[in-house]
Structure 1
Amino acid sequence: MSTSIFNRCEPEGDGVRSRWSSSKIRWDRVISLVLFSLVGASSCSLYQEIEAPVSSRDSVDAVGDTGAGPDAGDAVDIEADTEPDASAPALTAQPASVAFVVGETAQLTATITAGLGEEFSAQELRWSSADTEVATIDSATPGSVELFAVGVGTTTVSASIDDGHGGQLSVEVPVSVSALLELSIGPGAVFVGDERQAVVTATDAHGNPVGDVEVSWAVEDAAVLSVDGSGMITALDLGATDLIATVGGQSSRISVEVVEWKQIEAGRYFSCGLLSNGDAYCWGQNGTDGMLGHGTVDSGDGNELAHDTDAYVPTPVLGGIKFESISLGHFHSCGLTAQGQAYCWGAGYYGQLGNADYEIIARPVAVSGAYNFVEIEASREFSCALEESHDLYCWGYNASGELGQGDFSNYAVPKRVLGHKFVGMTLGGYHACAISEAGPTFCWGSGTQGQLGDGGDVDSPLPVQVDTSEQFVMLAGGYDHTCGLNTAGEVFCWGHNDMMQLGDATTLDRSRPVRADPAHTYVSIAAGAANTCGLDADDDVYCWGHNSYGNLGNGGRTPREESRVLVTGGERWRSISLGARHSCALPLNANRAYCWGLNYGGPLGNGENEDQHWTPQPVVNP
């Protein structure tokens, strides 16, 4: 800053040199600059008033000459260096910004600092809101104001006061108003290909709905999920991601997991399925044993059920356990975690739950012992699991020697099957078979129908070798028959054959393996109470044997089929499971599961409790 000072003093003599000086002078609003001219022993003073900004602090020096001073009317240049003045007055607000929810109030306080003098007071503050549809001035007291949040958005609240010199002091506070957001996509699991309408519910601080809000949508992983501008989501691939809704700067997010069916199993009058995320669901008849695992049992008795805890659609198994695989018996169920821990639930009166007790438990309970199991199977009233060391353990009912202990005592904890190491196994109604590390297949337990395959028809409490030169890679056990699949894809079966379940076009029981369906080969097999199915390399499923309830799935009503019939529906299949009187399967596109056959108690999972279905019916997705 610079200005000019005029000498209004007469010098005392011509040619007299004058010296000009000044001291550094601070100002607030108006300062007087006094310069001194020294002429010999005399002096005169002069001054010039200089207006300064309120918030400035300036230092002023006169630029003079030690020679002759200016004459009257001459100008002297004055230069000033300007610095902020810490003592200059200011208007501040606390807090510096406000963020609150529709329906809430917030307090703002303004403070005047330094230099305005007593004539300025808080009562003279003026408050305003730039957008009264977002926030309004609800009430004011000296120095403060209460804001009320009206609607979602942003605005600026200002406070101002006259400075007494024709200007004013002011302060602006940014204000953001949001709503409480609740984001949902509706109940149930999200399967690949599903579309769901996401909904945002916006409420004020008192729970009242806030209407007409603008929502923006986003997802974290666009490979798993997509969302359009209306909030319609589409599940693209397996995985989990966050769906994000934003309203007025406020965001709400939920995790969305996209799944498919991983496994489906058919039991006696019930079914269970496993999703790709490890969640287990069961449906159908729950009975007095609680084999659905949802924590309740039928209020009737074993002779007359009330059917008040049956489930006609998939119902979550309690406990929040993530399973790697599941298996169903007649009155109990078992599951295995990825860590090798086994759980069972349902009927336990023979010790088949493996928890060292003999009671009914309608939710998963851990099998006793520290094991790392890799495979588990549940049968009529006993269970077995294969340890990673290739030791096979069984527990539960043992009246026919099906636990492989060399005796006929029941056991409520896992007992190692004697004599061999095994790499695969299957369970029948009262017998078990397993493929040994050495290659041959062994069976034990009930053998009265030839189901042990050793050429005899007697029970054995210890493993006996199946009388065949075939090397099996997969086994499937029915109620009292057994089948094996060799490396060439050929199926061999043995045991009871009254329903032509052995696939040799006869009704003769076989105590040694015979070739089933010799004109076809398969990649996997399954056995039910009195029927057998195979999945071939073309992803077709063919079945033979008992069909009184439509459990072969071919649409026909012939009570039994001596040779293979195609499961209808046009699906390409990845797996199949056979129960007592119904069957279930997963297609390659595992967004849906299918069941067919007897539906007494709802084991088909289609939401109905009808008599039976002769063709595959879609299970209601959970």
Structure 2
Amino acid sequence: MRKYLLVTLFLLVGCDSPTVPNGVTSLTVNPSPVNFDALDDTIQAAVSIGGASDAVVKWSVSDLSVVKVLCWSGQTCQLISVANGTSTLTVTSGSVTTSAPIEVSQLAASFELSDTALSFSALGDETQLTIAPKDRMGHEMSGAEVVWATSDESIVAVSDSGLVTATGIGDATITVTSGSLEATASVMVKLWTSVSVGQSHSCAITTSAEAYCWGSNQYDQLGLGESMTDTAEVDVPTLVSGGHSWESISSGDQHTCGVTTAGDSYCWGNAGYSRMGDGTSGSTRPTPALVIGGHSWASLSGGRRHTCGITRYAEAGCWGDNYYRQLGDSTRSTRSSPRLVSDGHAWESISAGYDHSCGVTTSSQAYCWGNGQASKLGYGDNESRIAPTLVR
């Protein structure tokens, strides 16, 4: 009986063995630290387990508003950036724990200026430039460090916040940088003295005697030079080529003419119907072509297919298409160079229209000639006139 009891007691003690640990001796997270430079970015983290490769692993982060965790197996996990800030990644297996710091800090990968071409027509005028920096995932950033600079403070100034102020006449460039990124905006400060509107383009003269044109360039009527002949349209004032100093300018239907401060006349654009006045016809002129004849001009006016002007000696001359007698030289012949308007008046001003012309003499009398349809010559009838006739 005693022997039986001893055997039974031995068996009971043998079944009461201690708990067996999971065998994990260490945990190592890779990468550590975890750094994000963009929102909505994903980094895959992995844990190396020392002592037991098949142990159960638990992942967690201290701040889900900064980064969230998506795990699909025990030893790998996806971390997705949500907002700028810091958090802590914690990995636990049994009694063993390790952690890795997490930082989400957007870096600018690209940005756009609110405007890349500024034009001022008065000193002291201001424009606020802004930028929209984005990280490499395309998310906009706030509070990005940017530096604003101007190429010439005597022309334009820029504040630390991007406020641009015109300080002088000329051209300058605003540069904004953020890290390794850079963007520029061209600035033009011009004070205008006159402007002329054509069919689909405009031209103007500045106080510094420069000529600028903008709009359609289908026929090279902006005068931008050979390098711009394939440019169909220009949306900001652009300097007319040739380096001349301009006194006045006139935009015609598909061409433009101007008078320099020296009294020379130049035309550019559609050269059909001999409207350039340079002795030729056809094709286009992308750069200003000198009007021949040796006259000293005071003003010009561009019409549809013809041009008229007043010399500094009060003479009126016209050239180009003359089908409707709009040149006023008592013929219907197209002229490739200036021809004096008939009747020998002394002229104060002149204006070339679609298919007729009118002028005012130094004695303040108005005359018109050309196509008389729609009573546009002011004679009380619809008859065309081959030479200037007094407006009633």
- TM-score if structure 1 supplies the norm length? 0.35
1:414 aligned residue: 338
Rate the CA distance shift 1:322–1:257 in 2: closer, same or farther, 3 A.
farther
Whether the 8 Å CA contact 1:290–1:297 is kept in 2: the answer is no
1:569-588 to structure 2, matched below 5 A, reads none
Rate the CA distance shift 1:319–1:460 in 2: closer, same or farther, 3 A.
same
Residue 274 of structure 2 aligns to a residue whose secondary structure is coil
1:123-138 to structure 2, matched below 5 A, reads none
Q: What is the percentage of aligned positions where both structures have the same residue?
A: 31
**1:449 deviation in Å?**
1.5
1:109-258 to structure 2, matched below 5 A, reads 191=121, 192-194=123-125, 234-236=165-167, 258=189
Give the alignment partner of residue 440 of structure 1, picking from 360, 365, 369.
365
Whether the 8 Å CA contact 1:296–1:309 is kept in 2: the answer is no
C-alpha distance after superposition, 1:376-418 (max 9, x if no partner): 1000000011011110111111011111110000111111111
**1:320 deviation in Å?**
2.1
C-alpha distance after superposition, 1:266-287 (max 9, x if no partner): 2112222332222222222222
In the alignment, does 2:206 pair up with 1:275? yes
Whether the 8 Å CA contact 2:366–2:391 is kept in 1: the answer is yes
Give the alignment partner of residue 290 of structure 1, picking from 220, 224, 235.
220
1:334 aligned residue: 257
Whether the 8 Å CA contact 1:350–1:396 is kept in 2: the answer is yes
1:396 aligned residue: 320
2:353 aligned residue: 428
- TM-score if structure 2 supplies the norm length? 0.53
1:463 aligned residue: 388
- Mapped to 2, the partners of 1:291 and 1:257 lie a distance apart of 21
**1:322 deviation in Å?**
2.3
Whether the 8 Å CA contact 1:341–1:372 is kept in 2: the answer is yes
2:194 aligned residue: 263
In the alignment, does 2:275 pair up with 1:352? yes
**1:258 deviation in Å?**
4.9
Rate the CA distance shift 1:351–1:297 in 2: closer, same or farther, 3 A.
farther
Whether the 8 Å CA contact 1:189–1:259 is kept in 2: the answer is yes
- Amino acid across the alignment from 1:440: Q
Whether the 8 Å CA contact 1:393–1:416 is kept in 2: the answer is yes
**1:370 deviation in Å?**
1.8
Residue 327 of structure 1 aligns to a residue whose secondary structure is strand
1:454 aligned residue: 379
- Amino acid across the alignment from 1:272: C
Higher gyration radius (CA): 1
1:454-493 to structure 2, matched below 5 A, reads 454-467=379-392
- Amino acid across the alignment from 1:422: W
- Mapped to 2, the partners of 1:276 and 1:431 lie a distance apart of 32
- Mapped to 1, the partners of 2:371 and 2:249 lie a distance apart of 24
- Mapped to 2, the partners of 1:460 and 1:326 lie a distance apart of 27
**1:230 deviation in Å?**
11
- Mapped to 1, the partners of 2:216 and 2:162 lie a distance apart of 39
**1:296 deviation in Å?**
5.5
**1:194 deviation in Å?**
4.7
**1:316 deviation in Å?**
2.6
C-alpha distance after superposition, 1:38-72 (max 9, x if no partner): xxxxxxxxxxxxxxxxxxxxxxxxxxxxxxxxxxx
- Mapped to 2, the partners of 1:284 and 1:225 lie a distance apart of 25
- Mapped to 1, the partners of 2:189 and 2:270 lie a distance apart of 33
C-alpha distance after superposition, 1:264-309 (max 9, x if no partner): 222112222332222222222222x21121235999xxxxxxx952
- Amino acid across the alignment from 2:270: A
- Amino acid across the alignment from 2:311: E
**1:462 deviation in Å?**
0.6
**1:441 deviation in Å?**
1.0
Whether the 8 Å CA contact 2:118–2:188 is kept in 1: the answer is no
- Mapped to 2, the partners of 1:228 and 1:331 lie a distance apart of 42
Whether the 8 Å CA contact 1:297–1:309 is kept in 2: the answer is no
1:291-330 to structure 2, matched below 5 A, reads 291-295=221-225, 309-330=232-253
- Mapped to 2, the partners of 1:270 and 1:326 lie a distance apart of 13
- Mapped to 2, the partners of 1:444 and 1:417 lie a distance apart of 10
C-alpha distance after superposition, 1:451-484 (max 9, x if no partner): 11112211111111111xxxxxxxxxxxxxxxxx
- Amino acid across the alignment from 1:267: G
Whether the 8 Å CA contact 1:383–1:394 is kept in 2: the answer is yes
**1:357 deviation in Å?**
0.8
- Amino acid across the alignment from 2:302: A
- Amino acid across the alignment from 1:394: C
- Mapped to 1, the partners of 2:196 and 2:250 lie a distance apart of 7
Rate the CA distance shift 1:415–1:297 in 2: closer, same or farther, 3 A.
farther
2:142 aligned residue: none
Whether the 8 Å CA contact 1:401–1:462 is kept in 2: the answer is yes
- Amino acid across the alignment from 2:266: Y
1:180 aligned residue: none
**1:421 deviation in Å?**
1.2
**1:189 deviation in Å?**
6.2
Residue 266 of structure 2 aligns to a residue whose secondary structure is strand
**1:259 deviation in Å?**
2.6
- Mapped to 1, the partners of 2:215 and 2:205 lie a distance apart of 15
2:296 aligned residue: 372
- Amino acid across the alignment from 1:286: N
**1:373 deviation in Å?**
1.1
Residue 449 of structure 1 aligns to a residue whose secondary structure is helix
- Amino acid across the alignment from 2:268: W
**1:330 deviation in Å?**
1.0
Rate the CA distance shift 1:449–1:311 in 2: closer, same or farther, 3 A.
same
- Mapped to 2, the partners of 1:262 and 1:218 lie a distance apart of 24
Which has a greater percent of helix? Answer: 2
- Mapped to 2, the partners of 1:291 and 1:241 lie a distance apart of 23
C-alpha distance after superposition, 1:526-556 (max 9, x if no partner): xxxxxxxxxxxxxxxxxxxxxxxxxxxxxxx
RMSD: 3.6
- Amino acid across the alignment from 1:292: L
Whether the 8 Å CA contact 2:196–2:251 is kept in 1: the answer is yes
Instruction: Identify unmatched segments of 5+ residues in structure 2.
Output: 1-115, 129-148, 173-186
